[in-house]
Amino acid sequence: MRRPRCGLPAISERSGTAVKGLTVASRDAMTQCCVIVPRNWPRKQLDQKYASKFEARREPSHEEYVMTKKTDADPSQPSLRPATRLVVGGRDPAANHGFVNPPVHHVSTVLYPTAEDFLARRSRYLYGRRGTPTSEALENALRELEGPACAGVALLPSGLAAISTALLALLNAGDHLLVTDSVYQPTRNFCDGVLKRYGITTTYYDPLIGTGIAALIRPNTRAVFVEAPGSLSFEMQDVPAIAAAAHAMGAVVLMDNTWASPLYFRAFDKGVDLSIQAATKYIGGHSDVMLGTVSANKATWERLSDTVHALGLCVGPDDIYLGLRGLRTLGVRLAQHYQSGLKIARWLEQRPEVARVLHPALASCPGHAIWQRDFSGASGLFSIVLKPVADTAVHAFLNELSLFGIGASWGGFESLAIPFNCASFRTATKWAPGGPTVRIHIGLEDTDDLIGDLERGFAALAAAR
């Protein structure tokens, strides 16, 4: 027997008629009801009593009961602001018995009513790997957040998987790829390793190249990869100028937009074709999930989606749910990371131990003008260049911090600080900042407590000189 749903009669699978005594919830809770039946049920099988009370219609691909409330926000409304989109996007309480959030579907097999339905694949969902109500909820929420130019969103098991899958989707053997020298190092490893083995060549370019990118584009240049700002060195790229030059020569633009997220950088409006998120960072927001997303425009979506399916990539439902849950509070968290990060960056600028603070929202940062023009906010991630001092003193500084953890990643609620040096992997530019460098992630702690921690760290640095 088909399972009863809110406010509706249960329908017997065998006879197609309503089962006596089996109904759920009151109809008053709903303003409109309908029963959607499998397309292979003859109309006469419907119990006339119920057919007169509820609208019965055939659904070509799936069977479900729907209840709708006229006042439900339409997430596709162009007027909705990003903070509202974060809350309403991808939600469909009517399809989930009225519950605010979608269920976490642990699935593999989808059952079909008949052999004919199976052979014709007549089902809303085909197979666990090919999408579920849980995965659709996050995909739809992100698509609505990205805006109308976004044709689809693919979910991947990590940020790096999102990057590698997007590149694999676009590139063929013999193609040439341009990648910013400031790129996340594992992206570089993928290009120099896997892509090279498949006959794709990569040229790294100066992140500050702007329109000069045109001179590097060859007849076989298929894609340009940007990351703004670089997540260690914080050079800001002129994405619109690079995208215009790439498009003029027939190349596609991919962007790692993890630092700003779709909230603070509208990638599609700036000419990006595929926008990538390491959702492990701010979207997850709690350092408890690995997740990646690729948002694609109309020109690239089909190829991306075909590649994801061909590779058999999918994400476990619990991880998707954590991403969706994180997304709902992204707006308030990111605003706090932005505010706290800027306060501490300004404080660090005044410290005698610090030579420079690499934070695009600071007027002293070389990329500031581009940030002001193209971004509507900043995250909590930036770097500092210390005045020359021995590595042992830098380690003493970091080891003394108790509120800042030492570890990879960022975007969670907690503060982090790590030493880094880009010199060994740069190929198109020279990394010579003039002193040791430390990357800092400002979490959601009280900024005065964080400043107190940093003060103790600087005292340890002085003692270790």
Ligand X SMILES: Cc1ncc(COP(=O)(O)O)c(C=O)c1O
Strands (E) across 169-241 are located at 176-180, 201-205, 221-227
Under 8 Å CB-to-CB from 425, ≥6 apart: which residues? 185, 188
Picking from 135, 131, 73, 75, the residue whose alpha carbon sits closest to that of residue 103 is 135
Within positions 21 to 80, which residues make up the interface with ligand X, using CB under 6 A? none
184 interacts with ligand X by CB under 6 A = yes
Picking from 156, 118, 99, the residue whose alpha carbon sits closest to that of residue 314 is 156
**Minimum separation from the CB atom of position 417 to ligand X (A):** 15
16 interacts with ligand X by CB under 6 A = no
**Minimum separation from the CB atom of position 195 to ligand X (A):** 16
Q: At residue 49, what is the residue type?
A: K
Under 8 Å CB-to-CB from 382, ≥6 apart: which residues? 234, 341, 345, 357, 358, 359, 360, 439, 440
Give the Cα-Cα-Cα angle 204, 185, 306 (nearest 5 degrees): 80
**Minimum separation from the CB atom of position 265 to ligand X (A):** 13
Q: Among 132, 280, 293, 415, which residue sits at the site for ligand X (rule: CB under 6 A)?
A: 280
Active-site positions read 129, 184, 256, 281
**Minimum separation from the CB atom of position 174 to ligand X (A):** 27
292 interacts with ligand X by CB under 6 A = yes
Q: Among 66, 224, 241, 278, which residue sits at the site for ligand X (rule: CB under 6 A)?
A: 278
181 interacts with ligand X by CB under 6 A = no
Q: Which is nearer to ligand X, 256 or 374 (CB)?
A: 256
Q: Any idea what DSSP says for residue 4?
A: P
**Minimum separation from the CB atom of position 408 to ligand X (A):** 6
409 interacts with ligand X by CB under 6 A = yes
**Minimum separation from the CB atom of position 292 to ligand X (A):** 6
Rounded to an integer, what is the distance from CA 133 to the centroid of its chain?
18
Under 8 Å CB-to-CB from 18, ≥6 apart: which residues? 9, 10, 11, 12, 47, 49, 50
319 interacts with ligand X by CB under 6 A = no
Q: Among 104, 241, 290, 354, which residue sits at the site for ligand X (rule: CB under 6 A)?
A: 290
- Decide: 451 and 405 in contact? Cβ < 8 Å: no
Within positions 151 to 180, which residues make up the interface with ligand X, using CB under 6 A? 158-160
Backbone angles phi, psi at 270, to 5 degrees: -100, 10
Verify cis geometry, omega within 30 degrees of 0, for the bond prior to 93: no
Per the DSSP assignment, residues forming a β-bridge with 37 are: 58
233 interacts with ligand X by CB under 6 A = no
Within positions 247 to 266, which residues make up the interface with ligand X, using CB under 6 A? 256, 258
**Minimum separation from the CB atom of position 116 to ligand X (A):** 43
Within positions 415 to 444, which residues make up the interface with ligand X, using CB under 6 A? none
Two tokens, residue 420: 């880094």
Q: Which is nearer to ligand X, 155 or 461 (CB)?
A: 155
- Decide: 291 and 157 in contact? Cβ < 8 Å: yes
Q: Among 231, 237, 275, 297, which residue sits at the site for ligand X (rule: CB under 6 A)?
A: 231
Q: Which is nearer to ligand X, 86 or 278 (CB)?
A: 278
Under 8 Å CB-to-CB from 6, ≥6 apart: which residues? 24, 25, 29, 30, 65, 67, 97, 98
Number of residues counted as binding ligand X (CB under 6 A): 12
Sites of contact with ligand X (CB under 6 A) = 158-160, 184, 231, 256, 258, 278, 280, 290, 292, 409
